[in-house]
Structure 1
Amino acid sequence: MPTARARRLWTVALATAVASAAFAPSASAAPAASATGACAPLDDSIYQTVKPKNGASLLTNWTTEVLSAVLLGFTDDEGELFTASRSNEDGLVGVHRMYDKSANDFLFTAKSGEVSSFVDEGYEDQGVRFYVLPEADDCAVPVYRYAKGDKHRMAVSSSDRSALADDGWSSQGVSFYAAGDAGDPAPTEPTPTPEPDGSAFSFAVIPDSQMEVVSPTDPRMKNRTTWLAKQPGLAFVDHTGDVVNWDTDDHGQMKVAKAAMDVLHDADIPYSLSIGNHDTEATGVGGSARDPKNTYKLQRDTSTFNSFFDAADYGDVGGAYEAGKIDNTYSLYTAGGLKWMVLNLEFCARPGVVTWAKQVVASHPDYNVIVSTHSYLNGGGDIDSSNQGYGDTSGQKLFDQLVSQYPNIKMVFSGHVGYAEKARVDTGKNGNKIYSFLTTMHDAKTNPVRMLKVDPTNDSLSTYIYAPYTNQTWGEYSQTISGLDFVR
């Protein structure tokens, strides 16, 4: 019988082994299900064991470690969650295991930016533990991360995700994509049934809604989406950012906005969001800068926003720049017999985002592309040449590097500045016309939305701004554009 001191030393040693041991194959490991295509290298079983005291989980491909983790309280062995690769192969990314000793919490991420952020929060980076796919694939399943207080948990199946949500866990979105057959199928590029050639349709653009969510009893944002859900022929709804004004401890504004956008989801109307500066940690209580000296860094902290909004709820998402984040996504749909893409880009996009966006547009030459980003035109109707201290790419740089370069980019929508409505037309390098619209009403009393009707038969576009809460129309902002050259 070992002494108490010996047992304590053994427990400490075992805890250290669980926290830092390199994963090794186990003779008792169950054979992984065979995978094909991009998932072919993902043949190593990844097990999840849970600590029932707080619900936190540990992922490992070493069954011996599952047994060792019992001494740390991780006693509920849930078996294989998915399969991954033990070695780095082309097209795969490494999943880091992060450990917070004080909270006895493990979390897993394939995003380099998150690794450094969690290190700053006190987590130890224990290195790459296995390799997975960074983007969706037909063969893959999305692996979601959930948070509750200072604890984290991973889930794949819809039943597990629903159970976590019911138990108060908040989704942090898709962390990465792995192989397996126990979870929901990974999202793929949608192939909606085309409408008859030439049939007219409409889409809507919601401007800055930040003034509508400050009070939990303000009905305006939900009034707008309820009205939109009843509009015939509505193919898509986009939001150009500043969905909320600032985040609070109870995330009240996020909840109001989420309830409003859920109306569209429930009505099976696809939508997407562009993240504005007020939707990030850059903006503090009252709407001013949270920390003026760190605005650039805080602008990229969108973790809270992403815990409320998930690309899986959008309806037609074809891909994202970062797995599990809605900061930069593209959605695909058909309407009027034409293929359409809505490309949502973060505020003052990072150079890597612009490079990704170029690849997305170039790989979809048969789609009519609509770019949505929070800041593009300024209050005077010019393409903005300033990033205003928030980020990397100004509107002018975005035009030079992306918008002007591809003949299938047809429109750009933005908000952000003042009380302004502007429209302009520019010519791309291929001689194509690009129509840009600024809509920023910042209205304290009503809820404007820009409605657009596309008529492919006449190659025309008509637009107006309407507020369903007060039945108000701004006639001076209505216009019709003819001679559009749609991609067919």
Structure 2
Amino acid sequence: MVKPSNGASLTTPWAGEATKAAAAGFTDNQGVSFKASTEPGPGLVAVKRMYRSLPQDYIFTRSTTELVSAAKLFGYRDQGTTFYVSKVKADCLQPVERFRKGTRHRLAAGAADRSALLAAGWKYENVAFYAAPAGTTSAPPPTTPAPPPPTPAKPPVTSPVSNGAFSFAVVPDTQNEVLVSGDPRLTNRNQWLVKQKNLAFVAQTGDLVNWDTPDHRQMAAAKRSMDVLEDAGVPYTVSVGNHDTMATGVGGSARDPKNTYRLQRDTTTLNSYFKASDFGSVAGAYESGKVDNVFTTHTAGGLKWMVLSLEFCPRPGVVAWAKKVVAAHPDHNVLISTHSYQNGGGGIDGSNQGYGDTSGQQLFDQLVSQYPNIKMVFSGHVGLAQRARVDTGRNGNKIYSFLTTMHDPVTNPVRMFDVDPANGTVKTRIYAPLTGTTWGTYSQTLTGVQFVR
């Protein structure tokens, strides 16, 4: 139901509320948008309704993070659970998308609704949830819920790509993409990624945000954007950068120079917004309940893969844990994602940046070079980007390292990898989906890559 006088809209499953809304000016009754359940059930998630009187606006969300931030930052009031839907795609369901125009929000179910809102100047936000189309005769059937993050002792969750060539993505520092409200770059990149065929996983190499503020605005924006991947069922990880911790203050400088080392390990805000279950495919963590150091497992191209995500200049205990994880998975091709590893010139960095622990060189000596199944290392933090650096491990294996930082002020670069295990090739390129920009200098094809089979 839409209020013609101000463009406000209301979606409700209750006929009594619809009658009251009509009396209050919501006279444009647009009919049934989608079918949902008014009762909880297996595979269904609750959608809460938030309301703010000025301007008259309703927000529908299944995100606890957004629920808290909308109330705290913008004065929305939680009106409770409205209905239950699916958070994952299914053939019998359609996406219900959320749009925004100024300070008002609206749901769109179906291509016609979407086209009408876009034509009227509404901006796309995200897929809010999945529900049965209006023409169906029943509420959406229960779907299998996303599994909770398994412990190392449990069988690993695998990504859906299993055979043939596949791709994965490495997202560089995105800290400048969350500074201004409404910046589309981080969301746009993730929307583009979920449309790529045979995309197995995504690794973000740190500095997801620039600095934390009392209202956690940047982290909330980053979480909303990364939810695009989660909603589409694309596994991802975020490696902790120095800007994602309390070590970095307003403007990107040191928050408290005398306590930088201690503050570097304070990731309270990051862990209040992100959980291992958000990432998908998490098979273990260094610290229970924290995403600072985790590993995910996947099956793609007929091979087993592991993405080992390590904190900025990791603590000795983290390195020891990582060694045990890699040694326990000799049949996995291991990819390490960490914020600081190479220097701006492409060499392995011998510094711990003055406020970390293990330097890139120490990480190479103690971990990267020691195991034949470690295949690639991804990092950011400094410089712009480099073509692949190739090192030889103690077992004679080749290790390919990629520095991608960019800090582009206009668009949204992502480094894509196309892997063909059968032919032993890896193609990589840096591309920005917002503007269609390609950095040809960093495009290359690696041949003769030896994978663990």
TM-score normalized with structure 2 length? 0.67
1:481 to 438, 446, 453: 446
Q: How far apart are 1:163 and its partner, in Å?
A: 8.2
Name the structure 2 match of 1:353.
318
Distance 2:360 2:449 in 1: 23
The change in CA–CA distance for 1:484 and 1:214 in structure 2 (over 3 A counts) is same
Report if aligned partners of 1:258, 1:308 keep a CA contact under 8 Å in 2: yes
Name the structure 2 match of 1:465.
430
Name the structure 2 match of 1:309.
274
Q: How far apart are 1:423 and its partner, in Å?
A: 2.3
Name the structure 2 match of 1:407.
372
Report if aligned partners of 1:347, 1:391 keep a CA contact under 8 Å in 2: yes
The change in CA–CA distance for 1:185 and 1:483 in structure 2 (over 3 A counts) is closer
Q: How far apart are 1:333 and its partner, in Å?
A: 0.5
The change in CA–CA distance for 1:411 and 1:186 in structure 2 (over 3 A counts) is closer
Instruction: Specify every segment of 5 or more residues in structure 2 that has no aligned partner in the other structure, as ranges.
Output: 1-61, 73-146
Report if aligned partners of 1:317, 1:330 keep a CA contact under 8 Å in 2: yes
2:156 to 166, 170, 190: 190
Name the structure 2 match of 1:141.
none
Distance 1:379 1:368 in 2: 27
Identity of aligned residues (%): 68
Distance 1:467 1:167 in 2: 32
Instruction: Give the partner amino acid of 2:413.
Output: P
Distance 2:437 2:181 in 1: 23
Instruction: Give the partner amino acid of 1:465.
Output: I
Report if aligned partners of 2:387, 2:443 keep a CA contact under 8 Å in 1: no
1:386 to 327, 351, 358: 351
Name the structure 2 match of 1:251.
216
Report if aligned partners of 1:214, 1:245 keep a CA contact under 8 Å in 2: yes
Q: Does 1:428 align with 2:407?
A: no
Q: How far apart are 1:249 and its partner, in Å?
A: 1.4
Instruction: Provide Cα deviations, 1:414-442, integer angstroms capped at 9, x if missing partner.
Output: 00003333420000000000000000100
Name the structure 2 match of 1:236.
201
What is the aligned length?
314
The change in CA–CA distance for 1:285 and 1:195 in structure 2 (over 3 A counts) is closer
Distance 2:234 2:320 in 1: 29
1:269 to 234, 250, 253: 234
Report if aligned partners of 2:159, 2:201 keep a CA contact under 8 Å in 1: no
Specify the SS of the correspondent of 2:169.
strand
Distance 2:66 2:176 in 1: 28
Name the structure 2 match of 1:34.
none
Q: Does 1:329 align with 2:294?
A: yes
The change in CA–CA distance for 1:304 and 1:429 in structure 2 (over 3 A counts) is same
Instruction: Specify every segment of 5 or more residues in structure 1 that has no aligned partner in the other structure, as ranges.
Output: 1-160, 171-183
Distance 2:148 2:255 in 1: 39
Distance 1:276 1:167 in 2: 25
Instruction: Provide Cα deviations, 1:240-270, integer angstroms capped at 9, x if missing partner.
Output: 0000000111111101110110000000000
The change in CA–CA distance for 1:242 and 1:297 in structure 2 (over 3 A counts) is same
Instruction: Give the partner amino acid of 1:463.
Output: T
Instruction: Give the partner amino acid of 1:221.
Output: L
Name the structure 1 match of 2:260.
295
Correspondences of 1:58-69 after superposition (within 5 Å): none
Report if aligned partners of 1:189, 1:319 keep a CA contact under 8 Å in 2: no
Instruction: Give the partner amino acid of 1:390.
Output: Y
The change in CA–CA distance for 1:297 and 1:422 in structure 2 (over 3 A counts) is farther
Instruction: Provide Cα deviations, 1:19-59, integer angstroms capped at 9, x if missing partner.
Output: xxxxxxxxxxxxxxxxxxxxxxxxxxxxxxxxxxxxxxxxx
Instruction: Provide Cα deviations, 1:79-130, integer angstroms capped at 9, x if missing partner.
Output: xxxxxxxxxxxxxxxxxxxxxxxxxxxxxxxxxxxxxxxxxxxxxxxxxxxx
Instruction: Provide Cα deviations, 1:202-242, integer angstroms capped at 9, x if missing partner.
Output: 00000000010001211100000000011111000000000
Distance 2:65 2:293 in 1: 26
Distance 1:401 1:303 in 2: 28
Name the structure 2 match of 1:22.
none
Name the structure 1 match of 2:99.
none
Distance 1:194 1:162 in 2: 24
Report if aligned partners of 1:189, 1:316 keep a CA contact under 8 Å in 2: no
Distance 1:421 1:286 in 2: 27
Distance 1:210 1:263 in 2: 18
Instruction: Give the partner amino acid of 1:472.
Output: T
Report if aligned partners of 1:421, 1:441 keep a CA contact under 8 Å in 2: no
Specify the SS of the correspondent of 2:225.
helix
Instruction: Provide Cα deviations, 1:326-357, integer angstroms capped at 9, x if missing partner.
Output: 00000000000000000000000000000000
Report if aligned partners of 2:159, 2:200 keep a CA contact under 8 Å in 1: no
Distance 2:195 2:268 in 1: 32
Name the structure 1 match of 2:135.
none
Instruction: Give the partner amino acid of 1:192.
Output: T
Larger radius of gyration: 1
Name the structure 2 match of 1:455.
420
Q: Does 1:278 align with 2:243?
A: yes
Distance 1:270 1:445 in 2: 27
Q: Does 1:437 align with 2:402?
A: yes
The change in CA–CA distance for 1:166 and 1:286 in structure 2 (over 3 A counts) is closer
TM-score normalized with structure 1 length? 0.62
Name the structure 2 match of 1:367.
332
Report if aligned partners of 2:293, 2:318 keep a CA contact under 8 Å in 1: yes
**Range 245-254 or range 280-289, more displaced:** 245-254
The change in CA–CA distance for 1:185 and 1:452 in structure 2 (over 3 A counts) is closer
The change in CA–CA distance for 1:422 and 1:389 in structure 2 (over 3 A counts) is farther
Name the structure 2 match of 1:104.
none
Q: How far apart are 1:185 and its partner, in Å?
A: 6.0
Cα RMSD of the aligned pairs, angstroms, is 2.0
The change in CA–CA distance for 1:167 and 1:421 in structure 2 (over 3 A counts) is closer
Distance 1:218 1:356 in 2: 38
The change in CA–CA distance for 1:185 and 1:372 in structure 2 (over 3 A counts) is closer
